[in-house]
Chain A
Amino acid sequence: MIENDLLVKVSDAGLYKNGKWLVKGVNLNITKGKIVTLIGPNGSGKTTTAKIALGLYKNIEGTVKRLTNKISYVPQKVSIDWTLPVRVIDFMVLTQDLQDQEINDALNLTGVEHLKNNNLRELSGGEFQRVLLARAIAKKPDLLVLDEPVQGVDFTGEVELYALIKKISETLQCGILLISHDLHVVMSATDYVVCLNGHVCCSGTPVAVAQNKEYKELFGEKSSQLLSLYEHEHDHVHDSDGNIVKEAK
C-alpha cells in the first residue's frame, strides 16, 4: 500500500451510545482505486462504522484521519415522498452545483441518461440505485461510501450493479467503502473485506475471509461453500462443449 494513496485511516475506533457499544475496535484503511467491503449481520455496526469513517459522530473512541474532503455518500434507505416532485435532474444537483456536461457524463456512466427528465417516483429499484450512484460520482469524489447499494434489486441486477461499482472505481480511481450483507455476490468487486459483528471479527482478501473460522461461525458453513463456487481454482480448461482440453498452469 502506497502511503500517498491513503484516503481514510480509522484506528481502533468505537462508538458508545445509550449504554452499549454499537461498534468497537475498528481498524480500517481506504485507499485510492480500491474497494473495501464491510459485511456482517444486521445490527453488527456496518452503517455505524461507515458513518464513523465519514466523520459524522463527534464522541467516538479512537481516531479517524481523513485526507480528502471530496466525499460522496449513498445512504441505505432513500425513499422519496410523493409530496416531493423531484426529477432525476433536480436530484443530481441536490447537494452540489453541476455543469450539464457533468450531469450527462455521470448518468451516462451508470447507464441512465435517458431518464434525466423522469420523476424519481417513476423509476424502478435498479434505475433508482443507478441514479443514486450517478449523483454520488458526478463531482468525481475521492471517496465513495455506498450503504447497501443493491437494495430492492433482483439477483441479475445485483451482479450488474456490482460490475458497475467496479467500473466506477476503475474509471474514477476513487476509493470505495461498500456495505453489503452478502459476500458471495460482492466477491468479484472487492479488494478487501472487513467482517463486523460489533467488533472486527476478521478481515483480509475476500477468499481469506471466506475461509476464516469466525466468518464461518457468523454466517454458517454454507456461505463459505457457496463462496468457493465462485472462486474455485481452475486446474483445467474446458472447450465450448465442456470437454477437458488441457491442464491449466
Chain B
Amino acid sequence: MFDDFLLRALIAGIGIALVTGPLGCFVVWRRLSFFGDTLAHSALLGVILSISFNINISLSIFAVSSLVALILLRLQNTTNLAGDALLGLLSHSSLAIGLVVLGFLSFIRFDIMGVLFGDILSVNVNDLIIVWAGGAIILFVLWLIWKPLFASTVNYELAEAEGMNPKRVNAIFTILLAALIAISIKMVGLLLITGMLIIPAAMARNLSNNPKQMVILSIIGGLLSVFIGLYASFEINTSSGPTIVTVAIILFILSLSRIRKKY
C-alpha cells in the first residue's frame, strides 16, 4: 500500500516532527509564535532569490530568515515600536517584496501554492538528507544551549546575574528557528510551519507539569500528526501539509479534556 514517495514523505515528516517538538516548546514558552510566523513569511523572499540566482533553496531561505531576525533584534534596540508592530512590519514587507520580485521573474514557472503550503509528497532523497542532517545539527545545538536557554526563558535577569549569557543563547535560538524554517519549507510550507511548531507544544502543555515531559509529549504529538495526517491525506485524497496540521489541531482539542491547570 505504501509507495516510495509516501515512505519518503513519512521519513521527512518524522525528521521535522523531531525538531519542531522541542523548538515549538520554546516558541510557546517565550511567546514567539508571531516571531516564527515572521521568519516563515520572509522565507518566500528566500525561495525567490534561490530561483533567480540559482542557489540552494535551503541556504537561501536560511540566509534571508537569519537576516530578518538580525534586523528585528537591531530595530528592537533602536526604535520605540512595540515588538508586535515590528514583527508585522518585517513580516509583511518581506512578503510584499518577495511577491514584487516574483513579478519581475515572469519567465519562471513558479508554484506559489507549493511554497505556501508545502508538498511533502514531492520530497526526494536530497531533501531527506537536508532534513535529517540539518535537523540533527539543530537538535545538537539546542542540546548544547538547553540549560542557559531554559534559564533565561524562566527569568532573564537571574540567568544573566548567574553568568549564563542569555543574550547570546537567545540569538542562537533565533538562528535555530531560521534553520528549521529553511529545512522544512518545502515539506510544510511557510503558512503552516508555525502551526507545526505551536500546536503540538500547546497540546503537550495541557498534559504536562514539567518541562521535559512537555518536550517529549510535544514530539509525540508531532509524530502522531505526521503519521495520521499522511495516512489520512493518502486515503481521503487531501493535500498532505494541511491534513497534518488538522490532525495536530484535533489532538490539541482532545488534550483539552485532560487539562492540568489547577490553581
Residues of A within 8 A of B (CB): 51, 54, 56, 69, 71-76, 78, 80-87, 90-91, 94-96, 119, 121-122, 145
Q: How far is the CA of A231 from the CA of B153 in the complex (A)?
A: 43
A contact residues around B260 at 8 Å (CB): 85
Contact at A54–B210, with CB atoms within 8 Å? no
Known: A69-B163, A85-B213. 9 other contacts (CB 8 A): A72-B162, A73-B162, A75-B158, A76-B157, A83-B28, A83-B29, A85-B205, A85-B214, A121-B263
For the complex formed, measure the closest distance between the CB of A19 and the CB atoms of chain B, giving whole angstroms: 15
Select which of B148, B161, B211 is within 8 A of A73 by beta carbon.
B161
B contact residues around A69 at 8 Å (CB): 163
Contact at B205–A87, with CB atoms within 8 Å? no
Contact at A85–B161, with CB atoms within 8 Å? no
Q: How far is the CA of A69 from the CA of B208 in the complex (A)?
A: 36
A contact residues around B148 at 8 Å (CB): 95
Task: Closest B residue to A145 by CB, please name it.
Answer: B161
* Range of interface residues on B (Cβ < 8 Å): 20 to 34
For the complex formed, measure the closest distance between the CB of A108 and the CB atoms of chain B, giving whole angstroms: 22
Interface string of B194-223 (1 = CB under 8 A from A): 000000000001001111011000000000
Select which of A72, A95, A119 is within 8 A of B209 by beta carbon.
A119
Q: How far is the CA of A86 from the CA of B261 in the complex (A)?
A: 12
Q: How far is the CA of A169 from the CA of B153 in the complex (A)?
A: 29
Contact at B162–A85, with CB atoms within 8 Å? no
B contact residues around A71 at 8 Å (CB): 161-162
13 cross-chain CB contacts under 8 A: A51-B161, A69-B163, A81-B31, A84-B211, A85-B210, A86-B210, A90-B211, A94-B154, A94-B155, A95-B147, A95-B151, A119-B209, A122-B262
B contact residues around A75 at 8 Å (CB): 155, 157-158, 161
Q: How far is the CA of A51 from the CA of B261 in the complex (A)?
A: 35
User: Which of chain B's residues 62-90 have a Cβ closer than 8 Å to chain A?
Assistant: none
Contact at B151–A90, with CB atoms within 8 Å? no
Contact at B31–A94, with CB atoms within 8 Å? no
Select which of B160, B162, B209 is within 8 A of A87 by beta carbon.
B209
A contact residues around B158 at 8 Å (CB): 73-75, 78, 94-95
Chain B's interface: helix, strand, loop or mixed, by majority?
helix
Given A94-B150, A95-B147, also A86-B211 (CB < 8 A)? yes
- Is B164 an interface residue when CB atoms closer than 8 A count as contact? yes
For the complex formed, measure the closest distance between the CB of A212 and the CB atoms of chain B, giving whole angstroms: 30
Contact at B208–A85, with CB atoms within 8 Å? yes
User: Which of chain B's residues 20-50 have a Cβ closer than 8 Å to chain A?
Assistant: 28-29, 31
B contact residues around A122 at 8 Å (CB): 262-263
For the complex formed, measure the closest distance between the CB of B262 and the CB atoms of chain A, giving whole angstroms: 8
- B147, B151, B158: most-surrounded residue (chain A CB, <10 A): B158
- Is B159 an interface residue when CB atoms closer than 8 A count as contact? yes
Given A54-B161, A95-B159, A121-B263, also A80-B210 (CB < 8 A)? no
Task: Closest B residue to A121 by CB, please name it.
Answer: B263
For the complex formed, measure the closest distance between the CB of B116 and the CB atoms of chain A, giving whole angstroms: 28
Contact at B29–A81, with CB atoms within 8 Å? yes
B contact residues around A96 at 8 Å (CB): 162
Q: How far is the CA of A78 from the CA of B159 in the complex (A)?
A: 12
Task: Closest B residue to A74 by CB, please name it.
Answer: B158
For the complex formed, measure the closest distance between the CB of A117 and the CB atoms of chain B, giving whole angstroms: 9
Contact at A56–B161, with CB atoms within 8 Å? yes
Given A71-B162, A85-B213, A119-B209, also A80-B154 (CB < 8 A)? yes
A contact residues around B31 at 8 Å (CB): 81, 83
Q: How far is the CA of A1 from the CA of B170 in the complex (A)?
A: 42
